[in-house]
Amino acid sequence: MRTLEPASITLGTVDDLPQIYADMEKQFPPDEMYKYKNLLHLLHGDKYKILLYKRNSDGELLGYALVYTVENCNILWLDYIAILKEHQTHGYGAQLFNALWHKYCGPYDGILFSLEHISKNNPSLAKRQELRIQFYEKVGAYRLHADFQLPCENGALPMYLYFKPRRGLCAISRTVQLQAIRQIYEYCFYHFAHNKELLAHFKPTILDERLLPTRRPVLQHAAAPVVQSVRRA
């Protein structure tokens, strides 16, 4: 088994954005990307941050994450996470995700993020998406029941909503999820006018949930009507 070299998370700045954005354009679908100017706007605030994952021995960049600290509900929104292509398949992805969790899950109750639905017409893409889901469930993230909609230029992308709780937390309430999603929409997707309409559309699918070791949540009350309808992580 390969031993990974130690690496650490450091806080990035707007000066790091050109390098990070160039890599994002290679790794993320265009419809899941912010425009550069919108991302720059977010980074000039105090709630949205670039986190760099660098090897300790020489400071080489291995990966990065973009996160938003959601106010008033003790949740961290993981907007993007990636390992540079030349460092992929070595285990750094799990190491970075766990480093984020150890850094933030103490001050915060957990990490919230979204993942793409599995493609029904592209087998190769579907396989990669399935592996990505398996990866996050293996590191302790739970799929929630919300039919989350990721705002985009053409409306929204249906996504799975995942939550990695801090140690000892075994539930996430509907109230907390609603607070978090509202604030994510208002802060990160401020440039879209249809956010309220999107949330109203899938709000009935947001439920009180208990997080059990089965890796799939169990409802604490009867299921609400399901509205038919990644990102990033």
Q: What's the pLDDT at 105?
A: 86
Q: Does residue 97 sit in helix, strand or coil? A: helix
What is the rounded average pLDDT of the residues 93-101?
A: 95
Q: Tell me how far apart the alpha carbons of residues 149 and 76 are, in angstroms, rounded to a whole number.
A: 18
Q: What's the pLDDT at 142?
A: 97
Say whether pLDDT at 200 is over 50.
yes
Say whether pLDDT at 60 is over 70.
yes
**pTM to 2 decimals?**
0.90
- C-alpha dist (Å) from residue 36 to 22, 25, 42, 61, 127: 10, 10, 10, 21, 30
What is the rounded average pLDDT of the residues 127-131?
A: 94
Say whether pLDDT at 228 is over 70.
no
Q: How many other β-carbons are positioned within 10 Å of the β-carbon of residue 53?
A: 27
What pLDDT, in 10s, does the model give residues 62-87?
A: 999 999 999 888 999 999 999 999 99
Picking from 162, 151, 159, 156, the residue whose alpha carbon sits closest to that of residue 188 is: 151
What pLDDT, in 10s, does the model give residues 133-172?
A: 999 999 999 999 999 999 999 999 999 999 999 999 999 9
| Superfamily (CATH) of domain 7-219 | Gcn5-related N-acetyltransferase (GNAT) (3.40.630.30)
